Chain A
Amino acid sequence: MPNTHPVLDSSEWITWAQQPERGAVVNVFPVAAATHASKGAALTDFRGLQRAGAVAVTDDGRPILSEDIMRETLRVAAEINLPVIQHAEDTRMTENCSMNDGPTAFRLGLRGMKAAAEATIVERDVQLAQQFTGARLHVAHLSTADALKAVRRGKRGRTRVTCEVTPHHFTLIDENVGEYDTNFKMNPPLRSISDREALLVALADGTVDAIATDHAPHAPHEKIIEFERALFGITGLETALGIAITRLHREQKIPLARIVELFTAGPARVVDLRGRGTLVRGSYADVTIFDPKKRWTFDASKSLSKSHNTPFNGWQLTGKVVATIVGGVIQYRA
């Protein structure tokens, strides 16, 4: 994701992000900025970025609000079959907001983000995507029932719209913020119980294409402060599979095969990763081995991440990664 300093908005930066000297032990598929410095004004060079290895474009946390710019983004990206990812948030409606709008926000005296701030952007983007043959829209970390409706409408038509959901959004709700727990503060925020139920239905019925973590590590000084001042975001990489198996498979009875799809073939389709996310002969030997029955307790203090900003500390989970193989090399072993 290009929400970096500096913003990944040139082919040089995209090339740099993938350089072997950077020492990544996993595959890196960069997503480039859709506009220069993600300022939402002038489009970046999509062709050049794609040639350099970008698998999609987005302005991530600084969503493209201008209808004209978004239309142009979808139009140009469609010419080269490049997906456009949108963090759907009408930031004009969410100024100074730190959690979902609802009873908990009111009780805590916090300004709330309305579901409409997400849904209106998704509705608009789906409509814009319909205008161009080949346009591909991917809705990042979708969190509301109304936004799902727009995605379903798009999918029923001919629009190539995909979406992802995070483990925290299909597991937790705004009430879990409790008494200003900043480990429950992220954007999009934890939503209402009816939004969460809608996500669970959509994960089961195929509307959702992928599970994504929206992994956002933060230092203690960015989180152990006043709730309204704390940064948005939580970690999620280490808990994603355990949460998915515990919540979706054991509790919601979603078949394991579907969960595997949401972590592998689904996301590979979203950004066209050929030969990945599958075990078909001739594919890359990128394999995650997991034990779907292994019970374990997540202890944030023993996390492999430098950051401990997780809402799942102490959770008992079922399902754990045993080993990760990247390009035929074992990179992680539990």
Chain B
Amino acid sequence: MNRIARGSLLGIEHMEVAEIVGLLRLARRMNPLKPRPLLRGKRVLLLFYEASTRTRSSFEIAAKSMGAMTTLVLSSGSSIEKGESLLDTAYTLRAVGADLIVVRHPHAGAPLLMATHLDIPVLNAGDGMHEHPTQALLDAYTILRHKKSIKGLQVAIVGDIYHSRVARSAIHLLSKFGARITLCGPPEFLPEVATSLAPGLHITRTAEDAIRGGDVIMVLRVQKERLAGMKIRLQDYIARYQMTMTRLKLAKRDALVMHPGPIIRGLELTWEVADCPQSVIVEEVRNGVPVRMAILAKALGRAR
């Protein structure tokens, strides 16, 4: 296989801990209110084959605030609709002068395919059910704003783990840093094979067991768009796995409630939980900007 373009960020799985620590440190030096013009003269292409609110806007704001020019290409309204292949689209964007491409794609491995055929960095903004590395990095950043270290933290990840690229990236990252991770969900959302993803993972089918004594509770969205042919009764799911204030009380008093968004109030979590003092859901979104500033600066060799 071809070499991966320098500076690319494709997934957490193959990253070294030192590299992650470096990015998080750099993110802490990024001030979205007083950004340094580290990316002046750079062209950042945002290529989105799937819907996005948070990731897209925070990448765009991060890039622009550091002086880069950004162009957004969506699958609808572009030549992708006419059947242009992923690689031909990538070559086209390179030819118009892109210095970096941020890509979100419904198919796992699509960013890797681009990165092995281009000479500019490719940043994975979510590929199918595979990884969403920038989300995992901003989640680690958020956790570290509240906790001294990730090592030894008890983390519960509750919900549709099978379909979740956020979960895969988070599991890789938290596991590398020595968190104790419990995965929780019904078999349809959490097959036993999930424990093979990283060392020391535990599975429970009972939300209460997962949450009890937890330092971090990560709630995942039920991804209706990926439920091809699955027979999940939402009412049963809500009864057994919805994050409620009652369940949250089982966690440590200073536990963080996290969610990558978009949240569906009344489904995977209640209105009260979403807005409770332990909820850092909005803060995660806010932290996405400095973290993505750091990722962009590092990718383009402008990390200072």
A-B interface contact total, Cβ < 8 Å = 64
For residue A28, CB closer than 8 A to chain B, the reply is no
For residue B130, CB closer than 8 A to chain A, the reply is yes
Contact with A along B116-131 (1 / 0, CB 8 A): 0000000000011111
Q: Which A residues touch B130, using CB under 8 A?
A: 108-110
A226→B105 CA distance, assembly (Å) = 10
Q: B107, A228: Cβ atoms under 8 Å?
A: yes
Which residues of A, 210-266, contact B by the 8 Å Cβ criterion? 221, 224-229
Q: Quick one: given A107-B13, A226-B113, are A180 and B87 in contact (CB under 8 Å)?
A: no
Select from chain A the residue with minimum beta-carbon distance to B127.
Answer: A109
For residue B292, CB closer than 8 A to chain A, the reply is no
Q: Chain A interface mostly helix, strand, loop or mixed?
A: loop
**Contact size range, A:** 20 to 34
Q: Which A residues touch B61, using CB under 8 A?
A: none
Q: B228, A180: Cβ atoms under 8 Å?
A: no
Contact residue among B87, B108, B168 (Cβ-Cβ distance under 8 Å from A225): B87
For residue A157, CB closer than 8 A to chain B, the reply is no
Q: B228, A109: Cβ atoms under 8 Å?
A: no
Q: A225, B85: Cβ atoms under 8 Å?
A: yes
A106→B130 CA distance, assembly (Å) = 8
- Cβ of A113 to closest chain B Cβ, rounded Å: 13
Q: A108, B194: Cβ atoms under 8 Å?
A: no
Q: Which A residues touch B165, using CB under 8 A?
A: 109
Q: A108, B191: Cβ atoms under 8 Å?
A: no
Which of A106, A181, A224, A225 neighbours the largest number of chain B CB atoms within 10 Å of its CB? A106
- Cβ of A312 to closest chain B Cβ, rounded Å: 15
For residue B203, CB closer than 8 A to chain A, the reply is no
Which of B109, B127, B128, B229 neighbours the largest number of chain A CB atoms within 10 Å of its CB? B109
Q: Quick one: given A109-B168, A110-B129, are A226 and B107 in contact (CB under 8 Å)?
A: yes
Which residues of B, 72-119, contact A by the 8 Å Cβ criterion? 85-87, 105, 107-110, 112-113
For residue A275, CB closer than 8 A to chain B, the reply is no
A287→B265 CA distance, assembly (Å) = 71
A155→B129 CA distance, assembly (Å) = 42
Q: Which A residues touch B105, using CB under 8 A?
A: 226
Chain B residues in the interface with A (C-beta under 8 A): 1, 13, 85-87, 105, 107-110, 112-113, 127-131, 162, 165, 168, 191, 193-194, 196-197, 228-229
28 contacts between A and B (CB under 8 A): A95-B228, A106-B191, A106-B194, A107-B196, A107-B197, A108-B108, A108-B130, A109-B127, A109-B128, A109-B129, A109-B131, A109-B165, A109-B168, A110-B108, A110-B129, A179-B109, A180-B108, A180-B113, A221-B85, A224-B87, A224-B113, A225-B86, A225-B87, A226-B105, A226-B109, A226-B113, A227-B108, A228-B109
